[in-house]
């Protein structure tokens, strides 16, 4: 893999990856709708709105592998999700296909399956149960990825990211934490492993409290180094300061599930 495009360069994950991927691939093009403030002179950056198909085609020109982090990364109004995550994601896969990109790694989210209860361990073969418009857009992206893999031969990896950061910040994150180095391992499997056709991996570290069976990722050689349990005391101390959330605390998606929730009022 010689030339890689990473979208979402100005976001939380993109910003960390800009440091972690330095020197890993000979040519990395970074993109976002807004320019990161701290771009180094040797970093190639192309500003683009993913909802603009012509701009996305230009972005992928000469690229072999795409890491698609771009879009809106939390719940938002339908118009915002529609443009950034539905149209933007479709444009990315369509442009990748048309311009001869070989692989796409798509950053999906745990919120595509957020309405599974915390009492249930799930694999990647379950029906999607989105907890938000954002989660719906991620489920859509996974479906688009499967389509371009099966119909057009793109090699596609969807990483259902839990919570990316230096440590798990509360009880829920003890189950879904993803250490940045482990994210790099997962996306490199997506960009480099010879047997990728269409895969979904959970973007989670080696968390003893996990709700997810990530054996598919491990079959491809994933060996996470982060262990959420190393931070249990800190995470539980932070949890003790949070208000109870009767709906959010039941489901894997947490507060994304309780926001706008009124299923119990329908009779």
**Footprint of ligand 15L (CB under 6 A):** 73-74, 109-111, 161, 163
Report in angstroms how near the CB of residue 62 gets to ligand 15L at its nearest: 29
Q: Each residue of 168-182: b (16+ CB within 10 Å) or e? A: bbbbbbbbbbbbbeb
Residue 12 or residue 221: which is nearer to ligand 15L going by CB? 12
Report in angstroms how near the CB of residue 3 gets to ligand 15L at its nearest: 27
Report in angstroms how near the CB of residue 179 gets to ligand 15L at its nearest: 14
Distance in angstroms (rounded) separating the CA atoms of residues 32 and 10: 6
Residue 163 or residue 214: which is nearer to ligand 15L going by CB? 163
**53 catalytic per annotation:** no
Report in angstroms how near the CB of residue 81 gets to ligand 15L at its nearest: 12
Residue 109 or residue 205: which is nearer to ligand 15L going by CB? 109
Single out the catalytic residue among 72, 90, 134, 202. 134
In this structure, the dihedral spanned by the alpha carbons of residues 242, 15, 183 and 192, taken in order and rounded to 10 degrees, is 160
Residue 128 or residue 161: which is nearer to ligand 15L going by CB? 161
Residue 14 or residue 65: which is nearer to ligand 15L going by CB? 14
Report in angstroms how near the CB of residue 74 gets to ligand 15L at its nearest: 5
What are the residue numbers of the active site? 134
């Amino acid at each position: 893999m010689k030339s890689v495009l990473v979208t979402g360069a100005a976001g939380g994950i993109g910003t960390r990856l800009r440091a972690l991927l330095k020197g890993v691939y000979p040519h990395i093009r970074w993109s976002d709708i807004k320019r990161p403030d701290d771009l180094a002179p040797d970093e190639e950056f192309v500003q683009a709105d993913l909802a603009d198909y012509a701009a996305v085609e230009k972005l992928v020109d000469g690229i072999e592998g795409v890491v698609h982090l771009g879009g809106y990364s939390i719940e938002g109004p339908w118009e915002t999700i529609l443009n950034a995550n539905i149209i933007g994601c479709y444009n990315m896969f369509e442009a990748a296909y048309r311009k001869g990109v070989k692989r796409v790694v798509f950053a999906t989210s745990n919120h595509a399956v957020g309405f599974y209860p915390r009492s249930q361990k799930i694999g990647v073969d379950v029906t999607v149960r989105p907890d938000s418009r954002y989660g719906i857009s991620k489920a859509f992206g996974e479906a688009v990825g499967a389509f371009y893999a099966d119909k057009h031969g793109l090699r596609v990896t969807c990483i259902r990211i839990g919570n990316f950061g230096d440590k798990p910040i509360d009880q829920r994150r003890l189950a879904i934490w993803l250490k940045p180095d482990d994210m790099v391992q997962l996306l490199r499997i997506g960009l480099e492993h010879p047997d990728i056709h269409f895969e979904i991996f959970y973007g989670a570290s080696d968390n003893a409290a996990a709700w997810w069976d990530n054996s598919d990722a491990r079959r491809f050689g994933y060996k996470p180094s982060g262990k959420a349990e190393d931070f249990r005391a800190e995470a539980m101390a932070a949890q003790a300061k949070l208000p109870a959330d009767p709906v959010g605390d039941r489901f894997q998606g947490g507060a994304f599930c309780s926001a706008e929730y009124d299923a119990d009022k329908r009779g």
